[in-house]
A and B are shown apart, each in its own frame.
Chain A
Amino acid sequence: MGCMATQESYVLAIGTKKGLWLATSQDRQEWSMSGPHFLMSEVPSIAIDTRDGRTRIMVGVRSEHWGPTVAHSDDLGATWTEPEQGAIKFPEGTDAAVERIWQIYPDAESRPGVVWAGAEPISVWKSTDGGEHFELNRGLWNHPHRSEWGAGYGGAAAHSIVVNSSGDNVHVAMSTGGVYRSLDGGTSWEPRNKGISAYFMPDPNPEFGQCVHKIAADAAVEGRLYAQNHHGVYRTDDDGENWESIADGLPADFGFVMLTHPRRAGTAWVVPLKADGERIPPDGKLAAHRTDDAGKTWKRLDSGLPQGEYNAVLRDAASVDSAEPAGVYFGTRGGSVYASPDEGEHFTEVASHLPDVLCVRAAVVSPALVPAASVPA
Protein backbone atom coordinates (compact mmCIF):
# COMPACT_ATOMS: atom_id res chain seq x y z
CA MET A 1 0.00 0.00 0.00
CA GLY A 2 1.06 3.55 -0.56
CA CYS A 3 0.37 6.35 1.80
CA MET A 4 -2.99 6.77 3.38
CA ALA A 5 -5.26 9.04 1.41
CA THR A 6 -5.56 12.48 2.98
CA GLN A 7 -8.02 15.25 2.40
CA GLU A 8 -5.69 18.07 3.30
CA SER A 9 -2.09 19.09 2.95
CA TYR A 10 -0.34 21.96 4.62
CA VAL A 11 2.17 24.54 3.57
CA LEU A 12 4.25 26.56 5.98
CA ALA A 13 6.14 29.54 4.59
CA ILE A 14 9.07 30.78 6.65
CA GLY A 15 10.46 34.21 5.88
CA THR A 16 13.87 34.90 7.36
CA LYS A 17 16.58 37.51 7.36
CA LYS A 18 18.29 35.68 4.49
CA GLY A 19 15.55 34.14 2.41
CA LEU A 20 12.38 32.11 2.32
CA TRP A 21 11.88 28.46 3.11
CA LEU A 22 8.75 26.49 2.29
CA ALA A 23 7.71 23.44 4.28
CA THR A 24 4.96 21.03 3.31
CA SER A 25 3.28 18.31 5.27
CA GLN A 26 0.41 15.84 5.18
CA ASP A 27 -0.02 15.65 8.93
CA ARG A 28 1.56 18.81 10.37
CA GLN A 29 4.15 16.69 12.17
CA GLU A 30 6.52 15.54 9.43
CA TRP A 31 7.66 18.38 7.18
CA SER A 32 9.65 18.58 3.97
CA MET A 33 11.55 21.78 3.29
CA SER A 34 12.52 23.64 0.15
CA GLY A 35 14.71 26.69 0.00
CA PRO A 36 16.22 29.06 0.38
CA HIS A 37 14.25 31.08 -2.11
CA PHE A 38 15.48 34.70 -2.49
CA LEU A 39 18.76 33.86 -0.78
CA MET A 40 20.33 36.87 0.94
CA SER A 41 17.14 38.90 0.81
CA GLU A 42 15.01 39.29 3.89
CA VAL A 43 11.39 38.19 3.72
CA PRO A 44 9.47 40.13 6.37
CA SER A 45 5.97 39.56 4.95
CA ILE A 46 4.14 36.58 3.44
CA ALA A 47 0.55 35.79 2.55
CA ILE A 48 -0.84 32.49 1.36
CA ASP A 49 -3.98 33.33 -0.55
CA THR A 50 -6.19 30.29 -1.10
CA ARG A 51 -9.17 32.17 -2.50
CA ASP A 52 -10.47 31.97 -6.01
CA GLY A 53 -9.49 28.36 -6.62
CA ARG A 54 -5.74 28.79 -6.47
CA THR A 55 -2.94 28.90 -3.92
CA ARG A 56 -0.91 32.06 -4.37
CA ILE A 57 2.05 32.77 -2.11
CA MET A 58 2.91 36.46 -1.99
CA VAL A 59 6.11 37.64 -0.38
CA GLY A 60 7.49 41.01 0.51
CA VAL A 61 11.20 40.68 -0.27
CA ARG A 62 13.88 43.17 0.58
CA SER A 63 17.49 43.17 -0.50
CA GLU A 64 19.86 45.39 1.41
CA HIS A 65 21.39 46.29 -1.94
CA TRP A 66 18.53 46.21 -4.40
CA GLY A 67 15.57 47.36 -2.34
CA PRO A 68 12.10 45.96 -1.65
CA THR A 69 9.69 44.24 -3.97
CA VAL A 70 6.68 41.91 -3.97
CA ALA A 71 6.76 38.58 -5.77
CA HIS A 72 4.19 35.82 -6.04
CA SER A 73 4.09 32.15 -6.87
CA ASP A 74 1.10 30.09 -7.93
CA ASP A 75 2.99 26.78 -7.83
CA LEU A 76 4.25 26.62 -4.24
CA GLY A 77 7.53 28.29 -5.01
CA ALA A 78 8.57 26.38 -8.12
CA THR A 79 8.48 29.69 -10.03
CA TRP A 80 8.16 33.29 -8.89
CA THR A 81 6.80 36.31 -10.70
CA GLU A 82 7.67 39.91 -9.99
CA PRO A 83 5.34 42.40 -11.68
CA GLU A 84 7.48 44.29 -14.17
CA GLN A 85 6.46 47.76 -13.03
CA GLY A 86 6.58 46.81 -9.33
CA ALA A 87 3.65 45.88 -7.13
CA ILE A 88 4.08 48.56 -4.47
CA LYS A 89 5.67 51.91 -5.14
CA PHE A 90 4.83 55.41 -4.01
CA PRO A 91 3.18 57.54 -6.67
CA GLU A 92 4.76 60.68 -8.00
CA GLY A 93 4.28 63.68 -5.79
CA THR A 94 4.57 61.81 -2.51
CA ASP A 95 8.36 62.11 -2.48
CA ALA A 96 8.55 58.82 -0.64
CA ALA A 97 10.02 55.42 -1.37
CA VAL A 98 9.04 52.04 0.01
CA GLU A 99 11.61 50.79 2.46
CA ARG A 100 10.08 47.48 3.52
CA ILE A 101 6.77 45.67 3.09
CA TRP A 102 5.67 44.59 6.54
CA GLN A 103 2.32 43.02 5.89
CA ILE A 104 0.39 41.33 3.09
CA TYR A 105 -3.20 40.60 4.03
CA PRO A 106 -5.69 38.83 1.74
CA ASP A 107 -9.17 40.22 2.31
CA ALA A 108 -12.29 38.12 2.92
CA GLU A 109 -13.33 35.09 0.91
CA SER A 110 -16.20 37.17 -0.48
CA ARG A 111 -13.74 39.70 -1.97
CA PRO A 112 -11.32 37.56 -3.98
CA GLY A 113 -8.57 39.57 -5.58
CA VAL A 114 -8.54 42.16 -2.82
CA VAL A 115 -5.26 42.16 -0.94
CA TRP A 116 -4.04 44.78 1.53
CA ALA A 117 -0.48 45.63 2.42
CA GLY A 118 1.23 47.60 5.14
CA ALA A 119 4.61 49.18 4.58
CA GLU A 120 7.43 51.30 5.88
CA PRO A 121 7.26 54.29 5.82
CA ILE A 122 3.86 54.08 7.53
CA SER A 123 1.44 53.41 4.70
CA VAL A 124 -1.42 51.14 3.74
CA TRP A 125 -2.00 49.79 0.26
CA LYS A 126 -4.77 47.91 -1.51
CA SER A 127 -4.72 45.62 -4.51
CA THR A 128 -7.75 44.44 -6.43
CA ASP A 129 -5.83 42.11 -8.77
CA GLY A 130 -4.57 39.47 -6.39
CA GLY A 131 -1.55 41.37 -5.16
CA GLU A 132 0.06 42.25 -8.48
CA HIS A 133 -0.47 46.01 -8.20
CA PHE A 134 -1.31 48.03 -5.12
CA GLU A 135 -2.67 51.56 -4.71
CA LEU A 136 -1.59 53.81 -1.88
CA ASN A 137 -4.32 54.55 0.66
CA ARG A 138 -4.37 58.34 0.42
CA GLY A 139 -6.64 58.80 3.42
CA LEU A 140 -4.06 57.43 5.82
CA TRP A 141 -1.07 58.84 3.95
CA ASN A 142 -2.53 62.34 4.11
CA HIS A 143 -3.68 62.00 7.72
CA PRO A 144 -2.85 65.10 9.79
CA HIS A 145 -1.26 62.92 12.47
CA ARG A 146 1.32 61.44 10.09
CA SER A 147 4.09 63.87 10.96
CA GLU A 148 3.73 62.85 14.61
CA TRP A 149 3.92 59.10 14.08
CA GLY A 150 7.24 57.66 15.11
CA ALA A 151 9.47 54.68 14.56
CA GLY A 152 9.76 51.63 16.75
CA TYR A 153 13.07 49.81 16.97
CA GLY A 154 12.38 47.98 13.70
CA GLY A 155 11.25 51.03 11.74
CA ALA A 156 8.08 53.06 11.23
CA ALA A 157 5.49 50.85 9.62
CA ALA A 158 1.86 49.87 9.32
CA HIS A 159 2.15 46.23 10.33
CA SER A 160 -1.38 45.00 11.01
CA ILE A 161 -4.51 45.27 8.88
CA VAL A 162 -7.87 43.84 9.91
CA VAL A 163 -10.96 44.12 7.72
CA ASN A 164 -14.43 43.11 8.90
CA SER A 165 -16.87 40.93 7.01
CA SER A 166 -18.67 43.78 5.25
CA GLY A 167 -15.43 45.47 4.22
CA ASP A 168 -16.47 48.84 5.63
CA ASN A 169 -14.64 48.56 8.89
CA VAL A 170 -10.85 48.51 8.65
CA HIS A 171 -8.38 48.64 11.54
CA VAL A 172 -4.73 49.39 10.99
CA ALA A 173 -2.02 49.17 13.63
CA MET A 174 1.26 51.03 13.33
CA SER A 175 4.41 51.37 15.36
CA THR A 176 4.44 53.93 16.64
CA GLY A 177 1.09 55.57 16.25
CA GLY A 178 -1.30 53.01 17.59
CA VAL A 179 -4.58 51.72 16.19
CA TYR A 180 -6.49 53.66 13.54
CA ARG A 181 -9.97 52.76 12.38
CA SER A 182 -11.87 53.48 9.21
CA LEU A 183 -15.63 53.04 8.98
CA ASP A 184 -15.78 53.77 5.27
CA GLY A 185 -13.60 51.07 3.82
CA GLY A 186 -10.38 53.04 4.22
CA THR A 187 -11.34 56.49 3.00
CA SER A 188 -11.01 58.25 6.36
CA TRP A 189 -9.24 57.23 9.55
CA GLU A 190 -9.40 58.04 13.26
CA PRO A 191 -7.23 56.85 16.14
CA ARG A 192 -8.83 54.31 18.46
CA ASN A 193 -6.52 53.76 21.44
CA LYS A 194 -8.60 54.59 24.51
CA GLY A 195 -7.45 52.40 27.37
CA ILE A 196 -4.10 51.45 25.80
CA SER A 197 -1.16 52.75 27.79
CA ALA A 198 1.80 54.51 26.24
CA TYR A 199 3.88 54.45 29.43
CA PHE A 200 6.93 55.66 27.51
CA MET A 201 5.33 59.05 26.72
CA PRO A 202 4.89 62.09 28.98
CA ASP A 203 1.12 61.59 28.79
CA PRO A 204 0.69 57.83 29.17
CA ASN A 205 -2.84 57.94 27.75
CA PRO A 206 -2.57 59.89 24.50
CA GLU A 207 -5.10 59.83 21.71
CA PHE A 208 -2.45 58.23 19.51
CA GLY A 209 1.24 57.39 19.66
CA GLN A 210 0.93 53.97 21.27
CA CYS A 211 3.38 51.27 20.29
CA VAL A 212 1.01 48.52 19.32
CA HIS A 213 2.88 45.40 18.24
CA LYS A 214 0.07 43.37 16.67
CA ILE A 215 -3.72 43.29 16.46
CA ALA A 216 -6.03 40.48 15.42
CA ALA A 217 -9.79 40.15 15.10
CA ASP A 218 -11.89 37.62 16.93
CA ALA A 219 -13.08 35.01 14.48
CA ALA A 220 -16.73 35.05 15.48
CA VAL A 221 -17.52 38.17 17.48
CA GLU A 222 -17.87 41.22 15.27
CA GLY A 223 -16.27 44.28 16.84
CA ARG A 224 -13.95 42.30 19.09
CA LEU A 225 -10.20 42.64 18.56
CA TYR A 226 -7.13 41.76 20.56
CA ALA A 227 -3.87 43.70 20.79
CA GLN A 228 -0.36 42.85 21.97
CA ASN A 229 1.30 46.12 22.83
CA HIS A 230 4.72 47.28 23.86
CA HIS A 231 3.82 46.17 27.37
CA GLY A 232 0.13 45.46 27.61
CA VAL A 233 -2.29 42.90 26.23
CA TYR A 234 -5.75 44.22 25.45
CA ARG A 235 -9.18 43.40 24.08
CA THR A 236 -11.90 45.62 22.67
CA ASP A 237 -15.53 44.54 22.32
CA ASP A 238 -16.76 47.73 20.69
CA ASP A 239 -14.66 48.09 17.57
CA GLY A 240 -11.80 49.85 19.29
CA GLU A 241 -13.81 52.48 21.15
CA ASN A 242 -12.48 51.11 24.45
CA TRP A 243 -9.66 48.71 25.17
CA GLU A 244 -9.26 46.79 28.42
CA SER A 245 -6.34 44.83 29.76
CA ILE A 246 -6.43 41.05 29.49
CA ALA A 247 -2.86 40.56 30.69
CA ASP A 248 -3.77 39.00 34.05
CA GLY A 249 -2.74 35.38 34.04
CA LEU A 250 0.16 35.86 31.63
CA PRO A 251 3.77 35.63 32.85
CA ALA A 252 4.55 38.95 31.13
CA ASP A 253 2.61 41.56 29.21
CA PHE A 254 5.40 42.21 26.68
CA GLY A 255 5.67 40.42 23.36
CA PHE A 256 4.96 40.82 19.68
CA VAL A 257 2.57 38.05 18.65
CA MET A 258 -1.22 38.11 18.61
CA LEU A 259 -3.04 35.29 16.85
CA THR A 260 -6.74 34.48 16.77
CA HIS A 261 -8.58 31.28 15.97
CA PRO A 262 -9.88 30.92 12.40
CA ARG A 263 -13.44 30.17 13.57
CA ARG A 264 -13.91 29.99 17.34
CA ALA A 265 -14.93 32.99 19.40
CA GLY A 266 -12.75 34.03 22.31
CA THR A 267 -9.63 32.07 21.31
CA ALA A 268 -6.29 33.81 20.90
CA TRP A 269 -2.60 33.10 21.37
CA VAL A 270 0.34 35.20 22.53
CA VAL A 271 4.02 34.40 22.99
CA PRO A 272 5.17 36.49 25.97
CA LEU A 273 8.62 37.96 26.36
CA LYS A 274 9.85 39.10 29.73
CA ALA A 275 10.05 42.86 29.19
CA ASP A 276 11.07 45.69 26.89
CA GLY A 277 14.50 45.63 28.50
CA GLU A 278 14.74 41.80 28.54
CA ARG A 279 13.44 40.48 25.25
CA ILE A 280 13.65 36.80 26.06
CA PRO A 281 11.00 34.26 27.04
CA PRO A 282 10.31 34.59 30.79
CA ASP A 283 12.94 32.53 32.67
CA GLY A 284 14.33 31.45 29.30
CA LYS A 285 11.44 29.03 28.85
CA LEU A 286 9.65 29.33 25.55
CA ALA A 287 5.87 29.03 25.68
CA ALA A 288 2.76 30.15 23.89
CA HIS A 289 -0.30 31.05 25.92
CA ARG A 290 -3.86 30.54 24.74
CA THR A 291 -7.09 31.99 25.98
CA ASP A 292 -10.41 30.35 25.19
CA ASP A 293 -12.50 32.94 27.02
CA ALA A 294 -11.41 36.18 25.36
CA GLY A 295 -8.63 36.85 27.81
CA LYS A 296 -10.19 36.07 31.18
CA THR A 297 -7.86 33.12 31.63
CA TRP A 298 -4.73 31.88 29.86
CA LYS A 299 -3.26 28.41 29.45
CA ARG A 300 0.49 27.90 29.18
CA LEU A 301 1.45 25.75 26.18
CA ASP A 302 5.03 24.50 26.16
CA SER A 303 4.87 20.82 25.28
CA GLY A 304 7.62 20.19 22.77
CA LEU A 305 9.17 23.64 23.15
CA PRO A 306 12.72 24.15 24.43
CA GLN A 307 13.19 25.10 28.05
CA GLY A 308 16.32 27.13 27.57
CA GLU A 309 15.56 29.53 24.74
CA TYR A 310 16.74 33.12 24.69
CA ASN A 311 15.47 34.32 21.34
CA ALA A 312 12.43 36.48 20.73
CA VAL A 313 9.47 35.68 18.51
CA LEU A 314 8.68 38.64 16.26
CA ARG A 315 5.21 40.00 15.47
CA ASP A 316 4.66 38.20 12.19
CA ALA A 317 6.73 35.14 12.97
CA ALA A 318 3.57 33.32 14.02
CA SER A 319 0.50 32.02 12.27
CA VAL A 320 -2.53 29.77 12.49
CA ASP A 321 -3.96 27.61 9.73
CA SER A 322 -7.64 27.05 9.00
CA ALA A 323 -7.80 23.32 9.73
CA GLU A 324 -9.79 21.65 12.49
CA PRO A 325 -8.23 21.61 15.00
CA ALA A 326 -6.31 24.74 14.05
CA GLY A 327 -2.56 24.51 13.62
CA VAL A 328 -0.34 27.00 15.43
CA TYR A 329 3.11 27.94 14.17
CA PHE A 330 5.90 30.25 15.18
CA GLY A 331 9.60 30.86 14.65
CA THR A 332 12.34 32.51 16.68
CA ARG A 333 15.10 34.94 15.95
CA GLY A 334 17.39 31.97 16.58
CA GLY A 335 16.06 30.26 13.48
CA SER A 336 13.87 27.59 15.06
CA VAL A 337 10.35 26.97 13.81
CA TYR A 338 7.67 25.06 15.69
CA ALA A 339 4.33 23.64 14.59
CA SER A 340 1.39 22.42 16.60
CA PRO A 341 -1.38 20.38 14.94
CA ASP A 342 -3.66 20.79 17.95
CA GLU A 343 -4.02 24.46 18.77
CA GLY A 344 -0.79 24.64 20.74
CA GLU A 345 -1.21 21.60 22.99
CA HIS A 346 1.84 19.91 21.44
CA PHE A 347 4.60 21.39 19.31
CA THR A 348 7.17 19.75 17.08
CA GLU A 349 10.25 21.40 15.62
CA VAL A 350 9.92 21.98 11.89
CA ALA A 351 13.32 23.58 11.38
CA SER A 352 16.29 24.83 13.32
CA HIS A 353 19.38 26.93 12.67
CA LEU A 354 17.71 29.02 9.99
CA PRO A 355 18.48 32.75 9.86
CA ASP A 356 16.32 34.99 12.09
CA VAL A 357 12.69 34.15 11.43
CA LEU A 358 10.78 37.29 10.49
CA CYS A 359 7.50 35.92 9.20
CA VAL A 360 5.62 32.64 9.25
CA ARG A 361 2.38 31.83 7.42
CA ALA A 362 0.55 28.51 7.20
CA ALA A 363 -2.34 27.30 5.09
CA VAL A 364 -4.32 24.25 4.16
CA VAL A 365 -3.79 23.45 0.49
CA SER A 366 -4.81 20.85 -2.03
CA PRO A 367 -2.78 17.62 -1.72
CA ALA A 368 -2.23 17.85 -5.47
CA LEU A 369 0.04 20.84 -4.92
CA VAL A 370 2.35 19.15 -2.46
CA PRO A 371 5.30 17.27 -3.97
CA ALA A 372 5.12 13.54 -3.61
CA ALA A 373 8.49 13.53 -1.87
CA SER A 374 6.88 15.11 1.15
CA VAL A 375 4.30 12.35 1.55
CA PRO A 376 5.33 10.00 4.37
CA ALA A 377 5.73 6.39 3.31
Chain B
Amino acid sequence: MADISVVLPSVLQPLAGGQSILTAPTDGAVTVGLLLDSLTADYPVLARRLRDETGALRRYVNIYVNGDEVRRLNGLETEVAAGQEVVIIQSVAGG
Protein backbone atom coordinates (compact mmCIF):
# COMPACT_ATOMS: atom_id res chain seq x y z
CA MET B 1 0.00 0.00 0.00
CA ALA B 2 1.31 3.47 -0.93
CA ASP B 3 0.25 7.01 -0.20
CA ILE B 4 -1.28 9.73 -2.33
CA SER B 5 -0.40 13.23 -1.19
CA VAL B 6 -2.53 16.32 -1.68
CA VAL B 7 -0.92 19.73 -1.35
CA LEU B 8 -3.11 22.44 0.19
CA PRO B 9 -2.81 26.18 -0.44
CA SER B 10 -1.64 28.07 2.64
CA VAL B 11 -5.01 29.75 3.13
CA LEU B 12 -6.69 26.37 3.69
CA GLN B 13 -4.03 24.84 5.91
CA PRO B 14 -5.57 26.11 9.19
CA LEU B 15 -8.67 24.09 8.32
CA ALA B 16 -6.56 20.92 8.19
CA GLY B 17 -4.89 21.33 11.55
CA GLY B 18 -2.08 23.35 10.03
CA GLN B 19 -0.96 20.62 7.63
CA SER B 20 0.27 21.63 4.20
CA ILE B 21 0.05 18.11 2.79
CA LEU B 22 -2.64 15.52 3.45
CA THR B 23 -1.91 11.91 2.68
CA ALA B 24 -4.20 8.98 2.06
CA PRO B 25 -3.13 5.36 1.82
CA THR B 26 -4.24 3.56 -1.32
CA ASP B 27 -3.69 0.16 -2.81
CA GLY B 28 -4.62 1.24 -6.31
CA ALA B 29 -6.04 4.09 -8.34
CA VAL B 30 -8.71 6.22 -6.69
CA THR B 31 -10.86 9.02 -8.05
CA VAL B 32 -10.23 12.59 -7.00
CA GLY B 33 -13.74 12.67 -5.53
CA LEU B 34 -13.14 9.67 -3.32
CA LEU B 35 -9.72 10.97 -2.40
CA LEU B 36 -11.33 14.22 -1.19
CA ASP B 37 -13.99 12.25 0.69
CA SER B 38 -11.29 10.36 2.52
CA LEU B 39 -8.95 13.27 3.20
CA THR B 40 -11.60 15.72 4.39
CA ALA B 41 -13.63 13.29 6.51
CA ASP B 42 -12.01 14.71 9.62
CA TYR B 43 -12.07 18.28 8.33
CA PRO B 44 -15.68 19.15 7.41
CA VAL B 45 -15.05 22.89 7.09
CA LEU B 46 -12.22 22.20 4.65
CA ALA B 47 -14.55 19.90 2.74
CA ARG B 48 -17.11 22.69 2.34
CA ARG B 49 -14.48 25.12 1.10
CA LEU B 50 -13.65 22.77 -1.76
CA ARG B 51 -17.06 21.40 -2.75
CA ASP B 52 -20.65 22.55 -2.30
CA GLU B 53 -23.34 20.40 -0.71
CA THR B 54 -24.15 18.71 -4.02
CA GLY B 55 -20.57 17.49 -4.15
CA ALA B 56 -19.59 19.78 -7.01
CA LEU B 57 -16.15 21.32 -7.01
CA ARG B 58 -16.46 25.05 -6.35
CA ARG B 59 -16.03 27.14 -9.47
CA TYR B 60 -12.79 28.84 -8.51
CA VAL B 61 -11.13 25.86 -6.85
CA ASN B 62 -8.68 24.11 -9.13
CA ILE B 63 -7.28 20.66 -8.52
CA TYR B 64 -4.26 19.52 -10.51
CA VAL B 65 -3.22 15.91 -10.99
CA ASN B 66 0.34 15.68 -12.21
CA GLY B 67 0.03 19.23 -13.51
CA ASP B 68 -3.30 18.85 -15.32
CA GLU B 69 -6.43 20.58 -14.03
CA VAL B 70 -9.08 17.96 -13.38
CA ARG B 71 -11.79 19.81 -15.32
CA ARG B 72 -9.71 19.11 -18.44
CA LEU B 73 -9.49 15.46 -17.46
CA ASN B 74 -12.46 13.63 -16.04
CA GLY B 75 -13.46 16.04 -13.30
CA LEU B 76 -13.84 14.51 -9.87
CA GLU B 77 -13.93 11.11 -11.57
CA THR B 78 -10.32 11.57 -12.63
CA GLU B 79 -8.26 8.69 -11.31
CA VAL B 80 -5.14 9.21 -9.28
CA ALA B 81 -2.52 6.57 -8.65
CA ALA B 82 -0.04 6.31 -5.85
CA GLY B 83 2.98 8.46 -6.51
CA GLN B 84 1.10 11.08 -8.50
CA GLU B 85 0.99 14.61 -7.18
CA VAL B 86 -2.34 16.29 -6.41
CA VAL B 87 -2.29 20.04 -5.83
CA ILE B 88 -5.17 22.30 -4.84
CA ILE B 89 -4.85 25.95 -5.90
CA GLN B 90 -7.42 28.73 -5.90
CA SER B 91 -7.82 30.26 -9.33
CA VAL B 92 -7.19 33.92 -9.99
CA ALA B 93 -10.59 35.54 -9.63
CA GLY B 94 -12.21 38.64 -8.22
CA GLY B 95 -11.29 42.28 -8.20
Q: Which residues of A contact B (CB under 8 A)?
A: 40, 63-67, 69, 82, 84-86, 89-90, 95-98
CA distance A63 to B48 in the complex (A): 12
What distance in Å separates the Cβ of B86 from its nearest Cβ neighbour in chain A? 18
- Mark each residue of chain B from 58 to 81: 1 if its CB lies under 8 Å from any CB of chain A, else 0: 101100000000000000000000
Q: Which of chain B's residues 28-84 have a Cβ closer than 8 Å to chain A? A: 44-45, 48-50, 52-54, 56, 58, 60-61
Are A84 and B44 touching (Cβ within 8 A)? yes
A65–B45 CB distance below 8 A:
no
* Pair A65/B61 contact, Cβ less than 8 Å: yes
* B44 and A65 contact, CB distance less than 8 A: no
Known A-B contacts A84-B44, A85-B44, A86-B44; the reply to A66 vs B49 at CB < 8 A is: yes
**Could you say which residues of chain B place their CB within 8 Å of the CB of A69?**
48
Closest 3 CB pairs of A and B: A97-B52, A66-B49, A89-B53
**Cα–Cα, bound, A67→B12 (Å):** 13
Establish whether residues B58 and A65, one from each chain, have CB atoms under 8 Å apart when the complex forms: yes
Q: How far is the CB of B43 from chain A (nearest CB, A)?
A: 9
Cα distance, A95 to B49, chains bound together (Å): 18
A66 touches B61 (CB 8 A): yes
Cross-chain contact B91 with A65 (CB below 8 angstroms):
yes
Q: Is the CB of B58 within 8 A of A66?
A: yes
Whether the pair B58, A98 counts as a contact (CB closer than 8 A) is no
Contact (Cβ within 8 A) B93 A65: yes
- Determine the residue in chain B with the shortest Cβ distance to A90: B53
Instruction: State whether the Cβ of B17 lies closer than 8 Å to any Cβ in chain A.
Output: no
Check if B90 is an interface residue, CB within 8 A of chain A: yes
Whole-angstrom distance from the CB of B76 to the nearest CB of chain A?
15
By beta carbon, the residue of chain B nearest A82 is: B45
**Chain A to chain B contacts (Cβ below 8 Å), 15 pairs:** A40-B94, A63-B49, A64-B93, A64-B94, A65-B49, A66-B12, A66-B48, A66-B50, A66-B58, A67-B48, A82-B45, A85-B44, A86-B48, A89-B53, A96-B53
Apart from the given pairs A67-B58, A90-B53, 5 other A-B contacts in the complex at a CB distance below 8 Å: A65-B49, A65-B91, A66-B49, A66-B90, A86-B48
* CB of B13, distance to nearest CB on chain A (Å): 13
For the complex, what is the distance from the CA of A332 to the CA of B47, rounded to whole Å? 35
A90: chain B residues within 8 A (beta carbon): 53-54
Determine whether the beta carbon of B93 is less than 8 Å from that of A98: no
A96 to B53, CA, bound (A): 7
Question: Which of B45, B54, B60 meets A84, CB within 8 Å?
Answer: B45
Task: Give the complex CA separation of A315 and B78 in angstroms.
Answer: 43
Instruction: Using CB atoms, name the residue of chain A closest to B54.
Output: A97
Contact of B54 among A63, A65, A96 (CB under 8 A): A96
Please state if A65 and B90 are interface contacts (CB–CB under 8 Å).
yes
Per the bound structure, the CA–CA distance linking A40 and B43 in Å amounts to 22
Contact between A65 and B60 (Cβ–Cβ < 8 Å)? yes
Cα–Cα distance between A90 and B54 once the two chains are bound (Å)? 8
In the complex, chain A residues whose CB is within 8 Å of the CB of B52: 67, 97-98
The residues of B that contact A82 with a CB separation of less than 8 Å are 45
Hey, which chain A residues are within 8 Å of B44, CB to CB? 84-86
Q: Once the chains are docked, how many angstroms separate the CA of A98 from the CA of B52? A: 8
Residue B53 contacts which of A65, A66, A97 (CB distance < 8 angstroms)? A97
CA A85 to CA B93, docked complex, whole Å = 26
Are A97 and B56 interface neighbours, CB within 8 A?
yes
Cβ of A63: which chain B residues have Cβ within 8 Å of it? 49
- Name the distance in Å between A195's Cβ and chain B's nearest Cβ: 38
Instruction: Report B-chain residues with C-beta under 8 Å of the C-beta of A98.
Output: 52-53
Smallest CB gap from B60: residue in A = A65
B36 to chain A, nearest CB (A): 14
State in angstroms the CA–CA spacing of A40 and B60 once bound together.
Answer: 14
- Report B48 CB to chain A, min CB distance, Å: 6
> In the docked arrangement, what's the CA distance between A364 and B54, Å?
40
Point out the residues of chain A lying under 8 angstroms from B54, CB to CB: 90, 95-97
In this complex, what residue of B is CB-closest to A88?
B53
Q: Which residues of A contact B56 (CB under 8 A)?
A: 97
CA distance A82 to B54 in the complex (A): 20
Name which of B45, B53, B91 has the most chain A CB atoms within 10 A of its CB: B53
Chain A residue numbers with a CB within 8 Å of B94 are 40, 64-65
Task: Provide the bound-state CA to CA distance between A96 and B61, in Å.
Answer: 18
Name the contact of B49 in the complex, choosing from A40, A67, A85, A89 (C-beta under 8 A): A67
